[in-house]
Amino acid sequence: MDWRAQLDAYFIPRKARVEAALAHYLSGEPPLPRVLPEAMRYAALGAGKRLRPILCIAAAESLGGDAEQVMPTACALELIHAFSLVHDDLPAMDNDRLRRGQPTVWVKYGEAMAILAGDALFAKAFELLAEQARSSPPERVVRTLRLIAEAAGVQGMCGGQVEDILNEGQAVSEATLRFIHAHKTGALIRACVLSGALLMGADATALQSLDVYSRALGLAFQITDDILDEVAPTEQIGKPAGSDRARRKATYTALFGVETARAHARHALQEALNALNGFDERANPLRWLAHYAVEREN
């Protein structure tokens, strides 16, 4: 059985559990406020990979945990990812009208509601992180909360988005490009992996290995996004093809070309796999997910 079949057997049931939990956490329709809960569900419950919560679960399972032990945190990470996409799509940011094959939140509900839906998803994520304390030692939850907050802030997604915006149309170095990718995309991926490990009480050696793995994985994932934007059609990737090139974004394909970008992605994949050499077969899902990050089609 190749890694794709093994990943499907692992991923599909866990994705279903994550989506059921997300639907539960976002259920309810209060009389007031109107529209906002619907916009939140539209943003978070539509078609999505659910890669980030599955990474959290896979990291926990690699250390002997199980999905239910980390489900609030896994779902919180998906809500933070959804919040970031809602805000990234706004006219003031990337001005995207299509996401996951559907109109973006601001197109469907208006800019003001999209801003508020993103804000509310971010707040809901931290509500779920607080809920994690019901089933995990408080000191582990505090470390996890700090890690995730940092991944979302100025030294994470927000900082990466700033540099992404400021470098549109500019000639960038590889160092600047790696900073953008490591922060805008990689920081949350790193937080997903390390949060699952932290909640299971991982020791310093395991955390160091998973840190290396997650940084390499985040880079491989974003380089592959750069490549797909360049070579895949809109209906395959669920957003306008060639949009990065049209906005003159800083990407690996713009700096190196498609084939060299593929080589960089493969190198990052190998670095991620090497980081797991000290782990047993319970880490196989992390290995399959690393392959998926590079060889996916959307």
Instruction: Show pLDDT as tens, one digit a residue, over the chain (298 residues).
Output: 689 999 999 999 999 999 999 999 999 878 889 999 999 999 999 989 999 999 999 999 999 999 999 999 999 999 999 999 999 999 999 899 999 889 999 999 999 999 999 999 999 999 999 999 999 999 999 999 999 999 999 999 999 999 999 999 998 999 999 999 999 999 999 999 999 999 999 999 999 999 999 999 999 999 999 999 989 888 787 777 778 887 888 999 999 999 999 999 999 999 999 999 999 999 999 999 999 999 998 7
Residue 1's pLDDT is what?
Answer: 64
**Dihedral sign, Cα of residue 166, residue 107, residue 223, residue 186:** positive
Q: Domain locations in the chain? A: 3-295
Q: Write out the two tokens for 295.
A: 């060889």
Longest Cα–Cα distance in the chain: 54
Q: Write out the two tokens for 281.
A: 């077969």
Residue 245's pLDDT is what?
Answer: 84
Residue 238's pLDDT is what?
Answer: 74
Q: Contact 207/198 with Cβ under 8 angstroms?
A: yes
Residue 235's pLDDT is what?
Answer: 78
Residue 105's pLDDT is what?
Answer: 97
Q: Which long-range contacts (CB under 8 A, 24 or more apart) does 204-207 make?
A: 205/278, 206/63, 206/278, 206/279
C-alpha–C-alpha distance, residues 45 and 37, integer Å: 12
C-alpha–C-alpha distance, residues 101 and 85, integer Å: 14
Q: Per CATH, the architecture of 3-295 is what?
A: Orthogonal Bundle (1.10)
3-class secondary structure, 215: helix
